Structure 1
Amino acid sequence: MERTLLCILVLSGVFPPRDTSSLRKRLFNFVDEPKAWADARQHCRDRHTDLAAVNDEEDLGKLSGLIAGDVPRAFLGLYRTWGWTLTDDDDHKEGEEAYWNWGSGEQLKKELHCGSVGEAGQWFATNCSVSLNFTCYDASKTAPSERFSLGPDARNWRDAQSYCRGRYTGLARVRNRAENEQLQKMARGDRVWIGLSGTDWAWSDGAQPSFTPWRPRGPSAAGALGDCAVLVLDSKPLAMSDGDCAEKLPFFCYNDPMRKVLLRLELSADPYADMRAPDVMDSIMKWVEKKLSDKGVTEDVKLSWWKLPEKETKPEEEETEPMELVCFP
């Protein structure tokens, strides 16, 4: 039996659930170099992890403690984005691949903040107060021809949503090209509402916000002030407000803490097996990924092989196999 010693070096900010309370606290940086929100995000991604995302009051206090001098406002990583309006009856699955069919530049027009489907099947950002016909969908149906229904008349987006939720699941949520083509046929050349809204908020790193200390009541309606969140540093208590993404402000970045963990394992194989064959090494890699996933390490994990230099052997010593090292990320 051939024996190969493997070591797994864990270099990640993602840990099993039992470790998250002590290890997931982020490290923040204040950048006193005014930039527009998009440029600030690129700066953070190039030099850190991303624009700052906060999870609790303790995080807010850390951000405030980084400021020296008179800085009234600074960008955070929260921004207004497009999303489907979902209900408890929706058949949406977490992690489901997203389908988008925007017309050129339309998804940037969140100040209009409701989605419609045009004659050619492309999506448009349309003022929610406009009266259009609309399409509802029934989450219990799977075939596009049965899943969607055309509304009886023209209504604004919110009234159309109320109608659909009272009789079906909601305004149409489009999951793929076939469903989009079905809506296009039903519309018969007219523009119709779908259940897409530009009023949702998300963190720049993709996380959904669970802690949003808006003051005093919440963000303004889309387009009234802006689509990017700022931390108002001269407010008591500390508060967030929505601001203009094009305004140039200082900003906060974050770094996920890193921790090294070295795991060792020994594998045995048939003497005729080539442990260094690409398909064998690929199988071992997938097995290690599965084991890590079973232990709760499920995000941001990348594996690669690294071979330690072979030691020189003395004539009287038996030559041994070199140690292999698996590292990530």
Structure 2
Amino acid sequence: MMKKKYFFCTSTVFCFFTLGSSDFHHITLTENYTQAKSYCRDMYTDLATIYNLEDMNNLVSLASNITENTWIGLEIGAVWMWHWSLPGQLTDFFKWKSGEVITNNQEECAALDQFGGWFVSACGVLRKFVCQGTHTGDFIFVNESKSWWDAQSHCRGLPSDLVSIHSEAENMAVLNVSASQTVWIGLFKDPWKWSDGSNSSFRFWRASQPSYLSNQDCVAAVFQDNGKWNKQSCSNQLNFVCHGEGNMILIQENMTWIEALSYCRKHYFDLVDIKTKNIQDQVAQKAKNATSSYVWLGLRYTVQFNFWFWIRSTSSCYQNWLPGEGPQRDYGSAVSGAMEATGGQQWVGLPETEKLNFICNTCAG
């Protein structure tokens, strides 16, 4: 069942909304593509994957008043692959005409000739085309000559998409509806891949894109152009969109550190650990809603060795201690790490018998 859309801003850092069956989070920090991907993988699942035009239209309506463009999770790959323009379709049937030469590293689109054979063509050639109908086996012949990309836009405006073909019978039906004329079909080849490994074939390029200029290996949605996609240098600093549920939760119950640890491990995964500034920022956002002055973290102190460590044994150089706390201080008794719920939201050592709210990781990440 399709979820309804929800939208709210919790701070100047990110906004959240639900699209279709995926959770999208618009992050208003400015980062290069690699940093944005790292943030999304730390905080959520990955940079956003777009599956269809409905996702894209909702994204435009919700984010276009916030920013001019954002990173999405599409990046250049090493392998050029064939896809159907209509999302979610397997490339399980081909009908290349005899002697057709398929190049490996070049953008190409596919057309159907007057005998039903397929051939590759530059996507900018003007041809008539066939759109997918609203029902299985229903095809729409369009007697106008357009480039492959313009033909795709025309079909999506019906709303539909360029036709996909999965059997000899479907191929013959498309040939018949086209009156044995040469037409575009919805097959195209490109090297783009999604950061999270998804196989979405949905593309929403601006006019003249993708241009395959050197050093432009990442993709942004440009809201000044209805959210259409543009190749950019991965070093550019942009807002970005993550997807997936957040991987941490604030528990607004007061427990000792040991009780909090047991609770997280029983109901979720573990007490939260903070390995990067990005995670610190996310934990800080959660902590602002605490009903205690501090929140427990998965940080513990060993009296014997005067040493602080994360309970998940994750090594990290990142620290955010309040001055005079942490390694600078010999506590001399059993303490564990907590974060200030407000103010600078730095870390302190507190007696582990104190009862505080706490933050759990909901999954390993």
The alignment's TM-score, normalised by the length of structure 1, stands at 0.36
The alignment's TM-score, normalised by the length of structure 2, stands at 0.32
